[in-house]
């Protein structure tokens, strides 16, 4: 899929990774449709990139259908919006589980369902899902988040096969811990020294590569984390034992506490 001149819709454009992805896609000469809830950030980004913007709460079913209907002629859809949903299952009110499922899994499925039919009838297009390494390897305190991110992986791989005959590409991107901006960086959680990070720009480069080279999956993490995620697919109990020894439960608690606090800061998306 060629990006120059293409119409590209990005969800979660106001967030840490979304802003880097928008900049990279704009640099490739695409026309951007940016969506999120944070009006001021959207207005600033629209001005900077000469983009159209749509304020849209992906939990609102009418908003979601309106977004899909008005932009069904999109050439590329980058389904990046997400909520961290960290914490043990008993710490989540049922409504918080609904929210995580709505934003992280239901909205991308509905948007993909709505635009892929038009892409298929036009004989081209590309859809990118933003999962996480938590969609390949589960950790303590990540049951709800991992459920949504594993779900995206399965949806993406199956959809890719369904749409192949119509020349519509489907990719899934799996970031590990991303520094400088985004939901991990905003949490303030400190990683053990031996766990490496990547940048939002590296995630954006992976998204571009996924679209231009029709890659099924791309991990964005240092080798050690990618290897651990691959091992988790083959031998999840071995990885769980290693995580227990390394004190992963304490780190997860710190991360979800930090993310819960960061979510209450309205200025987070404008930084
Ligand atoms: N940062 C990381 O280390 C990391 C690692 C792995 C995977 N990821 C994934 O990468 C994606 C982007 O995350 P990020 O780090 O950029 O997080 P972020 O900075 O918190 O941004 C989240 C984005 O999702 C949007 N969003 C959340 N709830 C929404 C709703 N109800 N309706 C519409 N938009 C909504 C936010 O929009 P508003 O603020 O405008 O509401 C924001 O643009 C997520 O899917 C996340 O799971 C991130």
pLDDT reading at 271 higher than 70: no
Atom of ligand 1 nearest to the CA of 178: 3
Atom of ligand 1 nearest to the CA of 83: 27
Distance 90 CA to ligand 1 centre (A): 23
Q: What are the angstrom distances between the C-alpha of 61 and each of 56, 57, 73, 78?
A: 10, 8, 20, 19
Q: Which amino acids are annotated catalytic?
A: 145
- Class of 7-270 per CATH? alpha beta
Residue 32's Cβ-count burial label (10 Å; 0-12, 13-18, 19+) is buried
* Tens digit of each residue's pLDDT (9 = 90 or more) over 97-148: 999 999 999 999 999 999 999 999 999 999 999 999 999 999 999 999 999 9
Distance 123 CA to ligand 1 centre (A): 30
Average pLDDT over every residue of 51-70: 96
Name the nearest CA neighbour of 119 among 4, 8, 5, 13.
8
pLDDT reading at 265 higher than 70: no
DSSP per residue, 111-146: HHHHHHHHHHHHT-EEEEEE--GGGTS--TT-HHHH
pLDDT reading at 263 higher than 80: no
Average pLDDT over every residue of 252-257: 88
Confidence of residue 35 (pLDDT cuts 50, 70, 90): very high
Q: Which residues line ligand 1 (CB under 6 A)?
A: 12-18, 36-38, 56-59, 80-83, 103, 130, 132, 175, 177-178, 182-184, 269
Q: What is the mean pLDDT of the chain?
A: 94
Which residue is closest in CA terms to ligand 1's atom 22? 15
Distance 126 CA to ligand 1 centre (A): 20
**Domain locations along the chain:** 7-270
What is the pTM for the complete model shown?
0.96
Which residue is closest in CA terms to ligand 1's atom 21? 15
């Amino acid at each position: 899929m060629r990006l120059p001149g293409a119409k590209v819709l990005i969800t979660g454009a106001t967030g840490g990774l979304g802003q880097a992805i928008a900049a990279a896609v704009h640099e490739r000469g695409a026309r951007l449709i940016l969506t999120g809830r944070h009006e001021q950030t959207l207005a600033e980004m629209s001005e900077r990139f000469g983009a159209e913007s749509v304020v849209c709460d992906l939990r609102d079913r009418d908003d979601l259908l309106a977004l899909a209907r008005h932009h069904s002629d999109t050439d590329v859809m980058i389904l990046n919006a997400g909520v961290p949903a960290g914490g043990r299952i008993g710490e989540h009110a049922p409504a918080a589980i609904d929210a995580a499922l709505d934003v992280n899994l239901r909205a991308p499925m509905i948007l993909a369902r709505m635009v892929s039919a038009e892409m298929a009838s036009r004989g081209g297009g590309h859809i990118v899902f933003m999962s996480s390494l938590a969609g390949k390897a589960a950790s303590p305190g990540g049951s709800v988040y991992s459920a949504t991110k594993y779900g995206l992986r399965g949806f993406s791989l199956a959809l890719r096969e369904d749409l192949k005959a119509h020349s519509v590409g489907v990719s899934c991107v799996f970031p590990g811990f991303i520094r400088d901006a985004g939901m991990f960086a905003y949490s303030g959680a400190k990683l053990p020294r031996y766990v490496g990070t990547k940048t939002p720009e590296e995630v954006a480069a992976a998204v571009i590569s996924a679209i231009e080279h029709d890659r099924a999956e791309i991990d964005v993490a240092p080798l050690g984390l990618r290897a651990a995620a691959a091992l988790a697919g083959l031998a999840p109990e071995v990885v769980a034992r290693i995580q227990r020894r390394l004190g992963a439960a304490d780190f997860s608690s710190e991360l979800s506490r930090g993310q819960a606090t960061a979510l209450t800061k309205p200025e987070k998306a404008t930084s």
